[in-house]
Amino acid sequence: MKNLPKDDSGMAKQRKAIHHAQGGFTLIEVVVALIILGISLGAIFEALSVSRNIAIKADETLDAVRLAGNILADPVLINTVVKGNTVSQSIDGEPGWRFTFSAQPLEFNAGNRRNSMQVPAMYELKLCLFHATDRREKEFCINRWYRST
């Protein structure tokens, strides 16, 4: 038998695999991973900012609804307004909040102003709440019908 040359291809492949495994990531792979991470974090922070603003607006609207319910539950104040007086004042115990409350006889229009009909003993109440914040004053208005007795 002839002496055949030794096959070192198995050892060479093993050395190449070990060398490649220790090589790590290329610079392009790291940059792409950082860009993806940056875009993801930016989207997360934007979503958190938007949700915070929505929560602030929801809290403020909820306060306005609560205050409007309290004002509309006051029969003395409603009778004062129905008698033709407009009430404008700040709300006790609620810093930054004030309201304007007025009433007018309820009228229905049949398509034009000339054929309007006034409904006896019914009024349209208009309540506007104002909340002064650091940036500006926000307005919340409610119109409601009221039947006087």
Q: Could you report the per-residue pLDDT of 85-134, keeping only the tens digit for each?
A: 899 999 999 999 999 999 999 988 766 667 778 888 899 999 999 999 87
Please, which pLDDT band fits residue 24 given cuts at 50, 70 and 90? confident
Encode burial over 114-126: b for 16+ CB neighbours within 10 A, e otherwise.
eeeeeeeeebebb
Going along the chain from its start, the domains and CATH numbers come out as: 28-147 (2.20.25.110)
- 39: tokens are 């875009």
Q: What are the pLDDT digits (tens) for 50-69?
A: 999 999 999 999 999 999 99
